[in-house]
Amino acid sequence: MKEDLNPFKIAQQQLDNAAQIMDLDPAAHAILREPKRILIMSIPVKLSSGKTRVFTGFRVQYNDARGPAKGGIRFHPEETLDTVKALSAWMTWKCALANIPFGGGKGGIICDTKKMNERDLELLSRAYVRHLGRDMGPEVDIPAPDVYTTPQIMAWMLDEYNNIVRHNEFGAITGKPVEVWGSQGRMDSTAMGGIFVLREAAKMLKMDPKKATIAVQGFGNAGKYAYTLSKKIIGSKVVAISDSEGGVYDPDGLDLAKLEEAKEKTGSVQGYKSKNAKKVSNEELLELKVDILIPAAIENQITGENADRIKCKLLLELANGPVTPEATDILFKKGIIDLPDFLVNSGGVIGSYFEWVQNQTGDYWETDLFYAKLDKIISKSFHDTMDVQAAYAAKGKKINPRMAAYIIALDRVAKAMKAKGWY
């Protein structure tokens, strides 16, 4: 039977599997299977052309037992409510695993930013906030950038929210430009957190990261920073990288300046030229024989169909939902260490938490302090996950790292709901 790739069904299946393993209270399980609140918005925007277009927008506030909802806003032509629901669920577990005082949320608008000018993007961004207005804020729901949204878009949204509440409320949105009290270190915090996890995993596996080869799927914010930081901090050799058009593989290692030049001139990293470079598809990149594979693009890239052909030793899910449940089981049986997305990419929301704290207190940090705090939190999350996996193994139950991370997160959210009397 063909694997169901509906993202929310995948999120529910992962939850169900973990709930069974940890014997989660049925009432808590039932609450956690569905979002607490779903907002669907019809957003009319009078565009700069003079024409009015109605956009569909979403905001899902999945669970706020541990704090205000937290999560990005995606602008994507194929955005769906099920995708937003799944991402808001994963945000809930991500915040709980990192043990920061947020619940999970996510938002999105069905639109194609590549076909919109800057003025129309601003008009749409402001209209979204006007529709969300009373259902967001620093103690309610705190948006941030995601796919095809930027710090500039966050600045417009913040300004619109400030117009609604009639005062500056910088903690209402994170991922902002530093000029409006965004945080130093926030821009690359997703990838930086992933690199800290990579470092700790390499120690555990007794792998020399300086001799390791890396393939990165994705050349957006997370993927590009994963490339630069893995070379700068770890000293590894990135031999393959890709964008939506395809990828390039060079066993001698890739040069970032040449990659960016190729992207600018040809529209894709596949335009990269070197003596031993060759073009590969996104599918072929995933199946390269490398030490470390970093999916940093979109969901459902490693499935039951191709998981058996994955050859890496360590897989770091920097994207959201890149590995399906069926693939997770196959990778585990193959002995590949697959570290889950809501551990590996939690540096983004941890960085947003730091920005929110700075906004709430007025105490702003230097980049080194930001990174040091990020390192401490995400490294602890990694070791907590490995400890739970080891504890279950000691009891004769072999579970994969994703289930171990889920057990930690679900336990924390369930205890918060129990303390509040939700069940």
pLDDT, tens digit, 9 for 90 and up, residues 328-358: 999 999 999 999 999 999 999 999 999 999 9
pLDDT, tens digit, 9 for 90 and up, residues 111-161: 999 999 999 999 999 999 999 988 999 999 999 999 899 999 999 999 999
For residue 305, give every residue at least 6 positions away whose Cβ sits within 8 Å of its Cβ, in sequence order, or none: 3
For residue 221, give every residue at least 6 positions away whose Cβ sits within 8 Å of its Cβ, in sequence order, or none: 187, 188, 190, 191
Exposure string over 373-404, b if 16+ CB within 10 A, otherwise e: bbbebbeebbebbbebbeebeeeeeebbbbbb
Domains located in the chain, CATH noted:
36-180 (3.40.50.10860)
Q: Please state, in angstroms and rounded to a whole number, the distance separating the CA atoms of residues 276 and 186.
A: 36
pLDDT, tens digit, 9 for 90 and up, residues 272-310: 988 899 999 999 999 999 999 999 988 889 999 999 999
**Integer angstrom CA distances of residue 207 from 176, 199, 296, 385, 402:** 37, 9, 22, 19, 21
Per-residue pLDDT at 174: 98
Give the pLDDT band (50/70/90) at residue 201. very high
pLDDT, tens digit, 9 for 90 and up, residues 40-79: 999 999 999 999 999 999 999 999 999 999 999 999 999 9
Whether the pLDDT of residue 228 is over 90: the answer is: no
Per-residue pLDDT at 120: 98
Share of the chain above pLDDT 90, in %: 85
C-alpha closest to that of 217 among 280, 267, 277, 311: 280
pLDDT, tens digit, 9 for 90 and up, residues 76-105: 999 999 999 999 999 999 999 999 999 999
Give the pLDDT band (50/70/90) at residue 167. very high
Per-residue pLDDT at 310: 97
> Is 94 an annotated catalytic residue?
no
Q: Please state, in angstroms and rounded to a whole number, the distance separating the CA atoms of residues 211 and 203.
A: 13
Among all chains, which residue has been given the structure tokens 């014997």?
Answer: 23
Whether the pLDDT of residue 220 is over 90: the answer is: no
Alpha-carbon torsion (386, 389, 393, 395), positive or negative: positive
Q: Please state, in angstroms and rounded to a whole number, the distance separating the CA atoms of residues 273 and 275.
A: 7
**Integer angstrom CA distances of residue 299 from 104, 317, 365:** 18, 10, 33
pLDDT, tens digit, 9 for 90 and up, residues 348-386: 999 999 999 999 999 999 999 999 999 999 999 999 999
Which is the catalytic residue, given 36, 94, 106, 224? 106
Give the pLDDT band (50/70/90) at residue 1. low
Whether the pLDDT of residue 3 is over 80: the answer is: no
